[in-house]
Structure 1
């Protein structure tokens, strides 16, 4: 593309431009004659001298959605909170992530310094005029690091709602093997992941590529960072759940958002819940069944639909409820109130950055509907990725209007919070020490996060 020399003189909120540029120093790791350059401006204008930064795309990951898509770059920029981010890398070899990736051996720091020095004139040419107020601007190179050692693409699918999605097996530093699901519209976000175990444990996996290994799924544990805290939140109503069990009643959960189905299976297998899952995209459910071990049964039912709209229908708000698309089995389960609603929904608008839940879920009519379908001692548990402090504060404010108490768990990854809204005040019960449900909950979650629940 042809670019006017004055294009980059000013910051333009949320602007995103990519172009190719002759490689000033064609050596490893930037070895292609032409480089791909992406310039991203922050959505917000700086109040002082703009902060600039550059980043080199990791070698052999040029085609990864994180570094090659519009939405991937937007999320990278929002993560680092800078005014202008300049991302430079080899030209992507395809429009899809590399089928097989292995992290290269550490590159000599001297080589990287030479590449960074060779790129400095380009970075200065791409800097806004306002950054030269006090002389030449300082443009540090950010070091992109993650724990990915190896990866292999298992499948690429396209869903009617979520668009293109990627299923990949990965080896992570210090964490073993995972199967992961990513959406192209939110490439930096791991939608779901499960632990996988090499079938032939006697093999030295270091001598194999991931594609040569057979894997079995470990569905008895939760490795997605926020799922264990969501389950731990059940301890707030442990006494109530224990009473229901002693009365011979089955615990009931509604899960808005299914993903790979790990949460649904865990609630059923490990804690004895009857679970209904709602997923907007039928292809996601197909992927969950085929690659992530989702199994439907008498106690686990899933349906395709808008989870927010279904909550409103069950509550009897708006139009007369229409369950024609649901099986009789699921309809029967929707007639009685739930003990817990687990909300794992993210925004479909990549331009909003990483955000959960979507704005529609924080509307008063939806929160009121959720309150109506929860039992008198039930809870709503929400995975929250706040794009801003005001979003989080507004969510808390809106839920206070309809629920007795609110609690929070900081997942500890700098991104997720779990917010728990209780219908009734949470009391202390001396019988908790004899509570078989709490004993089991501590066992299957290894006691993680139960002591981290904070009232807000």
Structure 2
């Protein structure tokens, strides 16, 4: 039979332990480490002269080793008669004062306050599974009775959440002080678990403490970190466990496909501070002998960049860095970081444990970054949307040295909901500062600042540029359409960058926006320079219902209908749009609302290949002509859908003459319309259109 229980309930069974120790025989079984691993913390809390009750002693050598170094008042109890008999006989001659007794730890025969310490190595873990913890609570109540004032319950445990919560809440309610030591796990031992070993210290006071004392220590001699709530202590335990599991996986093998990651929290606040993602080189890659291990610090505000935020980008970063293993570190918002040296010092001990197997002990590990800087981010506003939860408006400095403003919903902090570029009102360039404090002084508190404003002529999203370029299919800007109005229905406002651009630069356009979340509209107006007027209106409501209403009422047609709306449903592989927007019946409504020459534009973000195929089939079933334009380096693709077919170009992929002419006309119209505004010179309409693929 296996020497470990098949089910957790067997841990608290006397019959199980009888079978266990008969099978085990003479060989000691050391739960969670031996005396050498635990002696540092044991000597710190248990004095040599203390009367100590060892609960669930088993056939561990721990009590024997403690006796040999000077502990003479040790009483060992266990529920198994087999192990008590064996241990008594084994120690009768050499350790005559070392006592072993068959006693149930939930009901002992000893007097109140008769011990200065109780030592428990794995017994709480074994008993906590029985009767939903009722047996363990009985044992802890008995421990509380047996200890005198100032006495300590010292428990060696794996600190599984249900177990540690039970024990900590029990002693907090009794007004005891609680401290938890996280010990580094050991390598290549029989008792080496994936989880780290913890030592729980609970101290009894004469009068119950009015406020709980909760502390966490790293290692046997670590400085205690004071926590205020049990939930914070449990969170710290989970972090150390996750780190230990990750380290153990990485210590034994290199798995290129694993893409393991871990979030480290601030010791005092419990808030996320760093996220570590481990990338290993591919098999057969030629790596310089010295490049065993490297740490790459992602600049603040850049963590959502494709290179740093996607698995494909991280693999590319790994390949260019050319290390056997690269740990990619991202920093979290609402945290302060002094400089690169401080970050390196803070991370050094943690990340070194993630080194690849076989790395020389004296190997120098470089910390890498972009330009040797931490980057910069400032949260300028925070709020809560009833529909989308907490959000953050933050200014960051991009790779080009320019300031950008972003809207991020914290429920999906890896995705930028909206982004705009900030420019000086006098068009002067924003000079890069050398340190964080100086940069902070240049950042605007709002878009109404006298020095900076939102550049409405700059589209930060490539899929927005493609949608604008798609207007060439209507002939917008051509001489024959010079005075022809263009009506646009856009579902999804975001920061308002796309509709504001259309309003400011496309001649004769009228834009109607449907936005579900009123908080988004307020953020767009206050922080992203969104300015609705008679040619740019916003309707707060459900896009599905609004389009259905328009189609039922009839008489309202649009030249362009655009969908740029994200989905809140994370259970499907499509994050944009919500699935209801691409059902066949709803697509039919869209087709009915378009003018004969009208274009339906859809921003599609779908990682599920089968689902994407299904969506494309439905769209193609409604619209005879469908073009797709993939966005390089992203999951996005823009679908341009028409009633009528359009020339698709020759075999070389070149644009047909009609679209080339329309593209040039639209480019000219954007540059000359609304004199005095700053049009983004990087938008090349013809270039954006040339990569269209026929679906």
Q: With structure 2 as the length reference, what TM-score do the two structures score? A: 0.47
* Separation in 2, partners of 1:236, 1:431: 7
Question: For the Cα contact (< 8 Å) 1:268–1:274, is it kept in 2?
Answer: yes
Tell me the CA shift for residue 237 of structure 1.
3.0
Aligned to 1:379: 599
Question: For the Cα contact (< 8 Å) 2:490–2:512, is it kept in 1?
Answer: yes
> Aligned runs of 1:12-51 on 2, under 5 Å?
23=218, 36=239, 51=257
1:234-264 Cα offsets, whole Å, 9 max, x none, are 223327x748734x33101111000111110
Aligned to 1:2: 160
Question: For the Cα contact (< 8 Å) 2:262–2:275, is it kept in 1?
Answer: no
Secondary structure at the aligned position of 2:375 is classed as: strand
* Separation in 2, partners of 1:302, 1:38: 49
Tell me the CA shift for residue 270 of structure 1.
0.8
State the superposition RMSD in angstroms: 4.8
1:286-311 Cα offsets, whole Å, 9 max, x none, are 11001101111111000101112211
1:308 has 2:513 as partner? no
* Separation in 2, partners of 1:343, 1:359: 12
Q: How many residues align?
A: 385
Choose the corresponding residue for 1:209, options 419, 439, 444.
439
Aligned to 1:331: none
Larger gyration radius, structure 1 or structure 2: 2
1:338-368 Cα offsets, whole Å, 9 max, x none, are 1111110111124446711111111111111
Tell me the CA shift for residue 176 of structure 1.
1.4
Aligned to 1:293: 529
Q: Structure 2: 5+ residue runs without aligned partners? A: 1-158, 164-190, 196-214, 228-232, 246-254, 277-302, 304-308, 315-326, 358-366, 445-451, 648-655, 672-678
Tell me the CA shift for residue 421 of structure 1.
1.2
Which has the larger displacement, 440-449 or 355-364?
A: 440-449
Tell me the CA shift for residue 226 of structure 1.
2.0
Question: For the Cα contact (< 8 Å) 2:489–2:513, is it kept in 1?
Answer: yes
Question: For the Cα contact (< 8 Å) 1:194–1:222, is it kept in 2?
Answer: yes
1:97 has 2:333 as partner? yes
* Separation in 1, partners of 2:273, 2:598: 40
Choose the corresponding residue for 2:465, options 189, 206, 228.
228
Question: Structure 1's 383 and 24: CA in aligned 2 closer, same or farther, altered over 3 A?
Answer: farther
* Separation in 2, partners of 1:22, 1:404: 67
Question: For the Cα contact (< 8 Å) 1:237–1:426, is it kept in 2?
Answer: no
1:193 has 2:419 as partner? yes
* Separation in 1, partners of 2:380, 2:574: 25
> Aligned runs of 1:311-330 on 2, under 5 Å?
311-316=547-552
Aligned to 2:610: 390
Tell me the CA shift for residue 54 of structure 1.
3.2
Which has the larger displacement, 380-389 or 285-294?
A: 380-389
1:455 has 2:661 as partner? no
Aligned to 1:349: 569
Aligned to 1:128: none
Question: Structure 1's 406 and 39: CA in aligned 2 closer, same or farther, altered over 3 A?
Answer: farther
* Separation in 2, partners of 1:286, 1:335: 31
1:184-226 Cα offsets, whole Å, 9 max, x none, are 2221110110001256858854151335533321111101232
Secondary structure at the aligned position of 1:219 is classed as: coil
Question: For the Cα contact (< 8 Å) 2:340–2:374, is it kept in 1?
Answer: no
Question: Structure 1's 388 and 435: CA in aligned 2 closer, same or farther, altered over 3 A?
Answer: closer
* Separation in 2, partners of 1:354, 1:194: 25
Q: With structure 1 as the length reference, what TM-score do the two structures score? A: 0.69
* Separation in 1, partners of 2:470, 2:664: 16
Aligned to 2:145: none
Question: For the Cα contact (< 8 Å) 1:258–1:277, is it kept in 2?
Answer: yes
**Structure having greater relative contact order (Cα 8 Å, sep ≥ 6):** 1
1:160 has 2:386 as partner? yes
Question: For the Cα contact (< 8 Å) 2:490–2:564, is it kept in 1?
Answer: yes
Q: Structure 1: 5+ residue runs without aligned partners? A: 10-19, 42-48, 73-77, 125-142, 322-333
Tell me the CA shift for residue 106 of structure 1.
9.2
1:358 has 2:583 as partner? no
Tell me the CA shift for residue 433 of structure 1.
3.2
Tell me the CA shift for residue 165 of structure 1.
1.1
* Separation in 1, partners of 2:478, 2:220: 67
Question: For the Cα contact (< 8 Å) 1:157–1:164, is it kept in 2?
Answer: yes
Question: Structure 1's 115 and 307: CA in aligned 2 closer, same or farther, altered over 3 A?
Answer: same
Which has the larger displacement, 170-179 or 147-156?
A: 147-156
Question: Structure 1's 148 and 364: CA in aligned 2 closer, same or farther, altered over 3 A?
Answer: farther
